[in-house]
């Protein structure tokens, strides 16, 4: 049943914040959960809270009850609460958790926002071209075909495109569906998904954004877990699972194995400079040597979040002229294909006069 339940990141943030405030005020955990349940508007979250309230009322730890909804909340959420309950620092850990989730949400929002403008321009271009080809052009096309004129190449291309699409649109739709379904199927295969994630890292600008975003998420999650009292190997394992890129997930899992054999994180990262910037390994080494790794990681996360912000702004600035050129070429081609035969017709009439 928990497989079909979904709780938004915003609801998780509010849950952590409200529970921290109520716990700090001295309200019993059960009463706090009941109050949060009354306030939430999410049906899935209400269903989860009902089960959690029953479990807590029966003497279970909050983290133990939430663990049955691990696919909803994730390892980070549950483990930070578990350590907080065990160490008596639940309020502090809930605040760390709310801050971490807010930072991750803001980072994803900025990246999506940077990509939104290019997508709007692209869709607008395709929409305008589609209206011209399939609504405007069919009304003019009978005039062109009835005249015994040598139509210009752009017009002939447009006529053939229009005829092909209108004649074979069911086949085209099925083909598009099969291609999309094929990509979806490949995305479910871990090896294919990892290969795609690996390729993305080599795409100019986008690869840098992906790297910085993964570095920011890794550093902040790892730092919060260490600050919350989670052991270093467990923290590194959990932090790796929260990253969206499979390449970084596997590399950090190998780093966790290296630590269990007595190695240092900084040494492992330093040997993987293709994926992990040298500044990251050097700062981690400083944190390891000074015994202040959690604070160092949180500082690193702030730095890389700033890098992501700058890169996303540059991405929009760089893509904008290319998108405008693409829009101008597409719309201009259709306009020329329509105007050229009309111009040729008027010229022919003038010659006859």
Query: Tens of pLDDT along 229-274?
Result: 888 888 888 888 878 888 998 988 888 888 888 878 888 888 888 8
Do 46 and 126 lie in one domain? The reply is no
Is the domain of 68 the same as that of 190? no
Q: Is the pLDDT of residue 108 over 80?
A: no
Residues 311 and 346 in one domain: yes
Q: What is the mean pLDDT of residues 182-210?
A: 85
Q: Is pLDDT at 1 greater than 60 in this prediction?
A: no
Q: Is residue 26 located within the same domain as residue 90?
A: yes
The listed range with the strongest mean pLDDT (130-134, 212-216, 226-230) is 212-216
Instruction: Looking at mean pLDDT, say which of 83-92, 169-178, 205-214 comes out highest.
Output: 169-178
Q: Which of 66, 101, 136 is the last residue of a domain?
A: 101
**CATH code for the domain of 119:** 1.20.81.30
Same domain, 180 and 290: yes
CA dihedral (78, 80, 84, 90) in degrees, to 10, reads -90
CB burial readout 315-349, b (16+ within 10 A) else e:
beeebeeebeeebeeeeeebeebbeebeebeeeee
Of 132-146, 191-205, 306-320, the range with the highest mean pLDDT is: 191-205
pLDDT class for 178, splitting at 50, 70, 90? very high
Do 238 and 263 sit in the same domain of this protein? Answer: yes
Domain end marker among 37, 70, 101: 101
141 and 257, same domain (yes or no): yes
Q: Give the global pTM.
A: 0.72
Where among 52, 72, 101 does a domain terminate?
A: 101
Residue 269: which of 286, 250, 288, 282 has the closest Cα? 282
**Count of the separate structural domains present in the chain:** 2
* 318 band by pLDDT with thresholds 50, 70 and 90: confident
Residues 91 and 111 occupy one common structural domain: no
Co-location of 24 and 69 in the same domain: yes
Confidence check: pLDDT of 143 > 90 = no
Mean pLDDT of 8-37: 88
Whether residue 77 sits in one domain with residue 165: no
**pLDDT, average across residues 319-329:** 81
Indicate if 298 and 238 belong to the same structural domain.
yes
Residue 351 has pLDDT above 80, yes or no: no
Residue 236: give the domain boundaries.
Answer: 102-353
Compute the chain's Rg from CA coordinates. 28
Reported confidence tier of residue 177, pLDDT bands at 50, 70, 90: very high
């Amino acid at each position: 049943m928990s497989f079909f339940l979904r709780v938004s990141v915003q609801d998780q943030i509010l849950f952590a914040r409200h529970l921290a405030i109520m716990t700090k005020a001295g309200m019993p955990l059960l009463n706090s959960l009941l109050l949060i349940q009354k306030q939430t508007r999410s049906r899935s979250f209400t269903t989860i809270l009902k089960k959690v309230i029953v479990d807590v009322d029966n003497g279970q730890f909050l983290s133990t009850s939430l663990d049955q909804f691990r696919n909803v909340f994730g390892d980070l959420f549950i483990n930070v609460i578990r350590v907080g309950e065990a160490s008596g620092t639940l309020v502090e850990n809930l605040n760390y958790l709310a801050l971490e989730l807010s930072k991750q949400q803001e980072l994803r929002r900025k990246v999506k926002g940077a990509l939104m403008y290019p997508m709007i321009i692209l869709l607008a271009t395709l929409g305008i071209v589609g209206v011209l080809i399939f609504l405007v052009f069919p009304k003019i096309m009978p005039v062109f075909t009835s005249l015994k004129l040598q139509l210009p190449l752009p017009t002939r291309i447009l006529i053939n495109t229009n005829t092909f699409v209108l004649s074979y649109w069911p086949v085209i739709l099925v083909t598009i569906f099969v291609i999309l379904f094929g990509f979806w199927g490949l995305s479910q295969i871990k090896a294919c998904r990892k290969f795609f994630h690996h390729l993305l890292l080599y795409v100019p600008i986008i690869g840098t954004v992906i790297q910085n975003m993964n570095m920011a998420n890794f550093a902040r999650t790892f730092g919060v877990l260490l600050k919350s009292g989670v052991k270093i190997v467990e923290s590194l394992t959990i932090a790796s699972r929260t990253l969206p890129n499979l390449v970084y997930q596997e590399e950090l899992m190998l780093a966790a194995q290296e630590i269990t054999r007595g190695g240092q994180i900084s040494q492992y990262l330093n040997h993987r400079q293709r994926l992990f910037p040298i500044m990251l390994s050097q700062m981690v080494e400083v944190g390891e040597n000074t015994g202040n790794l959690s604070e160092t990681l949180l500082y690193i996360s702030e730095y890389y979040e700033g890098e992501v912000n700058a890169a996303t702004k540059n991405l929009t600035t760089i893509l904008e002229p290319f998108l405008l050129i693409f829009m101008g070429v597409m719309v201009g081609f259709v306009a020329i294909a329509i105007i050229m035969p009309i111009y040729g017709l008027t010229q022919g009439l003038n010659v006859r006069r």
